[in-house]
Chains A and B, each alone.
Chain A
Amino acid sequence: MHKITYKREMAEKTVCHLKVEAPRIARKAKPGQFVVLKVNETGERIPLTMGGTDPATGLIDLIFQVVGKSTALMRTLNVGDSIQDIIGPLGKPTHIENLGKVICVGGGTGVAVMYPITKAYKEAGNHVIAIIGSRTKDLLILEDEMKAASHDLRVTTDDGSYGIHGFVTDVLRKILDEQKDVKLIVGIGPVPMMKFLCKLTKEYGVRTMVSLNPIMVDATGMCGACRVTVGGKTKFCCVDGPEFDGHEVDYDELVKRQRAYLTEEKVSMEQFKTAGK
Chain B
Amino acid sequence: MAEKEEKEKKPKVPRQKMPEQEPKVRARNFNEVPFGYTPELAQLESSRCLQCKKPKCIEGCPVEIDIPAFIKLIQEGDFDGSARKLKERNSLPAVCGRVCPQEDQCEKVCIVGKKDQPVAIGRLERFAADWERTKGTITIPEKAPSTGKKVAVVGSGPAGLTLAGDLILKGHEVTIFEALHKTGGVLIYGIPEFRLPKDIVQSEVNYLEKLGVKVECNCVIGRIETVDEILQEYDAVFLGLGAGLPQFLNVPGENYCGIYSANEYLTRSNLMKAYLFPKYDTPIARGKNVAVFGAGNVAMDSARTALRLGADTVRIIYRRSRDEMPARIEEVHHAEEEGVQFYLLTAPTKFLGDDNGWVTGVECLQMELGEPDESGRRRPVPIKGSEFQLECDLAVVAIGAGPNPLLPTQTQGLELNKRGYIVADLETGKTSKPGVWAGGDIVTGSATVILAMGAGRKAANSIHEYLMNK
Q: Which residues of A are in contact with B by a Cβ distance under 8 Å?
A: 24-25, 28, 38, 42-45, 69-70, 84-90, 217-218, 220-225, 227, 229, 234, 239, 253, 256-257, 259-261, 264-265, 267-268, 271
Q: Given contacts A44-B272, A234-B254, A260-B258, is CB(A220)–CB(B281) below 8 Å?
A: no
In the complex, the answer to whether A86 meets B218 with C-beta atoms within 8 Å is: yes
Contact B356–A87 (Cβ < 8 Å):
no
> Could you jot down 17 A-B contacts, CB within 8 Å?
A43-B281, A44-B280, A84-B181, A87-B218, A88-B223, A90-B220, A217-B282, A220-B179, A220-B220, A224-B260, A224-B264, A225-B260, A257-B255, A260-B285, A261-B285, A265-B283, A267-B278
Contact of A89 among B223, B245, B264, B280 (CB under 8 A): B223
Determine whether the beta carbon of A217 is less than 8 Å from that of B268: yes
* Closest residue of A by beta carbon distance from B407: A220
A218 contact set on B, CB distance < 8 A: 179-180, 267
* Closest 9 A/B residue pairs (Cβ): A256-B357, A264-B283, A223-B264, A222-B244, A44-B281, A260-B257, A224-B261, A85-B181, A87-B218
Flag if A88 contacts B217 (CB, 8 Å).
no
A-B contact count (CB 8 A): 110
For B261, give its contact among A86, A88, A220, A223 (CB under 8 Å): A223
Task: Let me know if B248 is at the binding interface, CB within 8 A.
Answer: yes
B406 interface residue per 8 A CB criterion: yes
Q: Which residues from 75 to 93 on chain B have a C-beta closer than 8 Å to any C-beta of chain A?
A: none
Do A89 and B224 contact each other (CB < 8 Å), given the known contacts A43-B281, A222-B245? yes
For chain A, what secondary structure do more than half of its interface residues adopt (helix, strand, loop), or is it mixed?
A: mixed
Assess the B220–A234 pair: CB atoms within 8 A: no
- Contact with A256, one of B219, B257, B277, B279 (Cβ below 8 angstroms): B257
Q: Is the CB of A217 within 8 A of B255?
A: no
Does B404 interact with chain A (Cβ within 8 Å)?
A: yes
Please, how many angstroms separate the alpha-carbon atoms of A86 and B181 in the complex? Answer: 9
A222-B246, A224-B263 given; 4 more Cβ-contact pairs under 8 Å = A234-B254, A253-B357, A259-B356, A264-B283
CB distance from B53 to the nearest CB of A (A): 47
Whether the pair B281, A268 counts as a contact (CB closer than 8 A) is yes
Whether B280 contacts A38 by the Cβ 8 Å rule is: no
Looking at chain B's contact residues, the main secondary structure is loop
Residue pair B281, A42 in contact (C-beta under 8 Å): yes
Residue of B218, B257, B281 contacting most chain A CB atoms (<10 Å):
B281
Residue of A nearest to B401 (CB): A222
Give the distance in Å from the alpha carbon of A160 to the alpha carbon of B300 in the complex: 58
B301-332 Cβ-contact flags toward A at 8 Å (1 or 0): 00000000000000000000000000000000
Beta-carbon nearest neighbor of A229 in chain B: B255
Residues of A within 8 A of B218 (CB): 85-87
Instruction: State in angstroms the CA–CA spacing of A45 and B267 once bound together.
Output: 11
With beta carbons under 8 angstroms apart, the residue of B224, B248, B272, B280 that contacts A24 is: B224
Q: Which residues from chain A contact B268 at a C-beta distance below 8 Å? A: 217
Known contacts A222-B245, A256-B257; A87/B264 CB under 8 A: no
Contact of A87 among B181, B248, B258, B277 (CB under 8 A): B181
Contact between chains at A88 and B224 (CB < 8 Å): yes
- Could you say which residues of chain A place their CB within 8 Å of the CB of B263? 222-224
Cα–Cα, bound, A256→B277 (Å):
22
* Chain A nearest CB, measured from B175 CB (Å): 14
Choice from B181, B248, B257 contacting A257 with Cβ under 8 Å: B257
- Interface contact B406-A220, CB-CB below 8 Å: yes
A256 CA to B281 CA, complexed, in Å: 21
Tell me which residues across on chain A come within 8 A of B255, comparing CB atoms: 227, 229, 234, 253, 257
**Residues of A contacting B280 with CB < 8 Å?**
42, 44
Taking CB atoms, residues of chain B closer than 8 Å to A86 are 218
* List of A residues within 8 angstroms of B246 by Cβ: 222-224
Complex Cα distance, B218 from A87, in Å, reads: 5
The reply to whether B281 and A85 form a contact with Cβ atoms under 8 Å apart is no
Q: Which of B224, B248, B405 contacts A234 (CB 8 A)?
A: B248
Contact A45 B282 (CB under 8 A): yes
Given A38-B181, A221-B245, A223-B264: A264 and B277 within 8 A (CB)? yes
Residues of B within 8 A of A267 (CB): 277-278
Query: Closest Cβ of chain B: how far from A206's Cβ, in Å?
Result: 28
Chain A residues contacting B260 (CB-CB under 8 Å) are: 224-225
Greatest chain B CB density within 10 A among A28, A43, A217, A259 is at: A217
A88 contacts which chain B residues (CB < 8 A)? 220, 223-224
Q: Report the Cα distance A60→B331, complex, angstroms.
A: 46
Would A44 and B285 count as touching, CB distance under 8 A?
no
Residues from chain B with Cβ under 8 Å of A69 in the complex: 281
Closest A residue to B273 by beta carbon equals A42
How far does the Cβ of B133 sit from chain A's closest Cβ, in whole Å?
23
A259–B404 CA distance with the chains assembled, in angstroms: 27
- Whole-angstrom CA separation of A227 from B283 in the bound complex: 17
Most chain B Cβ neighbours within 10 Å, of A38, A222, A225, A264? A222
A249 and B32 alpha carbons, distance in the complex (Å): 44
In angstroms, Cα B358 to Cα A87, docked, is 30
Q: Smallest Cβ distance from A144 to chain B, in angstroms? A: 31
Q: Given the complex, which residues of A lie within 8 Å of B264, measured CB to CB?
A: 217, 223-225
- Residue of chain B at shortest CB distance from A33: B223
Give min CB distance, B456 to chain A, whole Å. Answer: 20
CA distance A259 to B245 in the complex (A): 25
Q: Contact check: which of A42, A89, A229, A265 meets B279 at CB < 8 Å?
A: A42
Structural contact, A239 and B406, CB atoms closer than 8 A: yes
**With a CB–CB cut-off of 8 A, which chain B residues contact A256?**
257, 356-357
